[in-house]
Structure formats: structure tokens, C-alpha cells
Structure 1
């Protein structure tokens, strides 16, 4: 299969999958190396395909072009001990955590896709964070960061903000 057909096949797989597909799984399915998949994803993104790279794999964002969804960026401040509680506030309200955005003193704004939709996703994310030897959050961001959250209606976004405020992590 040539590159163009492989990229079409990758796009079709991403359109039909609800869960992220790992580069390794895609490579196995396409009969190529994971590095070829990484390059294919980069080429697809260059043609304005909205493919997110998450800690679980690739996912096509906006399958329905965002119809019927609302987004809001919230600013939060907390130490590492409140991280799971913050994410639970959002998913328990019925919203999704699309990303995390930090302002770095040297590099400027840094955004990372998260795609956290459930408590299970939060727990898996926390396992990775807690097992990592990365610097504590405060050293990188002064404990302040942003999330883009998405929900089917504004009331869900309002409820997520209400829960974040009650948890004491929302910055107004």
C-alpha cells in the first residue's frame, strides 16, 4: 500500500474509533513501523486533519465538526495533591478535559492534548503522573494552568465551573 492510501486508511480508522489508537497498533495494522505512522500523522495534520496525540494514542477530534458542543477555557490553581479532584470535578459534571495549557517563562504557552472523558481516564492519567519523575507542577507553572473543557451544552460547562469553584481550584 502506498503512503497516500495508507493515510486514507488511517483516517478512516480514526473516524470509526471511539477510543484513541496507539501508533504501535496502527503500525501493526498497516504493516509499517511506528515511525512511519508518526510521519503519516504529521502529514495528515499538515492537510488540516484535526488529529490529537494523547497519552493513549491518536484520536480524530471533531468527527461531527463540533456540532452540538460547547467549549470553555478555565484557569485553575492548585498543587499536585488537588490534581485528581480538579479533573473529577470536570468529568463528573459531564464535560471533557481536552487539554492543559501552561505559560512557561522561557517557552511561552505550551499546550498538551489530554482528552480526559471519565473517572477511569483521570485515574489512568494520575497513575502516569505519579509514576513519572517529572518536576512538581509548581516548578513549571507556579501551580497555575488552563484547561479547555467541552460539553454538549452550556449548563454542563457551568456545572463544571461550579464544582471547580467549590473545590477551591478555579481562578476567577
Structure 2
């Protein structure tokens, strides 16, 4: 009986140690994740341009899947991180106030450059493109196009890819979120989109 009690006590001690180790590993994992995400934010803050997922993976010593998960968690915490074709960007507005407006437009693939150029030439920044899908609902892709050079680079990259523009899955209908330094600029963009026949009047 004494041996049995000793055996049970030993098992209890082992189980407690294993439990403590598991909890400690979980806590350490949480802390390491928080520290890593802070480093990730610092990298994006100090970068002069987009940072690719593979670059973040190398710098932080984790897989690209972990980077994707970290980005999702940071976004859930209201960090405004854009995933552009060139990489991730931490978006900051700076001291000057910015204004945003969403424009619903409809046009063909051949008119993409004209539509985007119209927006940036007026002083707008195209933040994203959004389309509605029958199965998946709203699909959004970050763009961050500030000038004609950005527009042409985006169009050339799209042309060299097997994937077509998102507007193809919504019969040309899509939404752009546009940012500008004044409401007047957004008004001018709306006016010109309407004049070109791109703007969908709701």
C-alpha cells in the first residue's frame, strides 16, 4: 500500500511539472509573438517602401505563414497595414488631415489606366479595389497608387500575370477607396469620373 501511495504521489508530481511546463511554454509563446509583432511593426515603420513577406520572414526568423498570421492579428488590432503586390506597407497619414471617399465605378479592362490616371492626376491616392462576389461576398485588394508611374507599373504587372483584374468577376463593377488632402480634390475626381461615364450613380 505504501509503495502504491508513493507511486501515485510521484505520478501527481510528474503531471504537475508537465502542466507547469505546458503553461510556461504557452505564456512564453504569447510573449514571443507579441515581441515579434512589435518588431514587425518597427520594420514596416522604418521602411521607405513595401516590404515583402519573404523579407519579413528572413528578418524575424519565422515562416511566411507566421508572418501572414501576425499581419492579420495586427490588422485586427487596428494597425493599417496594406498588402500590395510589392509587399506590406504600414500606412500612416502624417500630421496633415486626409479625406477619403469611396467611388463605385464601371468600365472595361482596357479603360483601367485611363480611370486610375484620372484619379491620381487629380491628386488622389487609390487605396484599394473592392468587388462583390456571389459566393465569397466582398473581395478587396490593396493598391496604394499615388502617381502615373504607380498606375503604369500596376497595369504592366497585371498584364504579365495570368490572373486578370478583379473587375472581370463583377462585370466591370467595382469600388475604389480614394484618399486626398481635401474634399475639393475628391469632388473634382467625382466630377471627372462622372464626365467619363465611369461613375455609377447610386
- Within 5 Å, which residues of 2 pair with 1:89-104? 89-104=118-133
Match of 2:175 in 1: 146
Matches within 5 A, 1:53-64: 53-64=83-94
Deviation by residue 1:41-73 (Cα, 9 ceiling, x = unmatched): 122223232222121111122454x96010111
Post-superposition shift, 1:162? 2.7
Contact 2:57 2:63 in 1 (8 A): yes
Secondary structure at the residue paired with 2:62? coil
What residue is the counterpart of 1:107 in the other structure? Answer: 136
- Normalised TM-score (structure 2): 0.75
Deviates more, 1:37-46 or 1:110-119: 37-46
Quick check: 102-111 or 79-88, which moved more?
Answer: 102-111
Pairwise CA distance, 1:84 = 0.8
Secondary structure of 2:101 counterpart: strand
RMSD of aligned alpha carbons = 2.3
Residue 25 (structure 2) aligns with: none
The CA distance in 2 between the partners of 1:7 and 1:89, in whole Å, is: 37
**Are residues 1:26 and 2:60 paired?**
no
Mapped partners of 1:86, 1:159: distance in 2: 13
Q: Aligned runs of 1:12-161 on 2, under 5 Å?
A: 12-64=42-94, 68-134=97-163, 139-161=168-190
Structure 2 residue ranges without an equivalent (≥5): 1-30
Q: If you compute each CA radius of gyration, which structure gives the higher value, 1 or 2?
A: 2
Residue 176 of structure 2 aligns to a residue in which SS?
A: strand
Q: Tell me, yes or no, if structure 1 residue 167 matches structure 2 residue 196.
A: yes
Which sections of structure 1, spanning at least 5 residues, go unmatched?
none
Task: Give me the whole-angstrom Cα distance separating, in 1, the residues matched to 2:168 and 2:143.
Answer: 20
Relative distance call for 1:55 and 1:136 in structure 2 (3 A) is closer
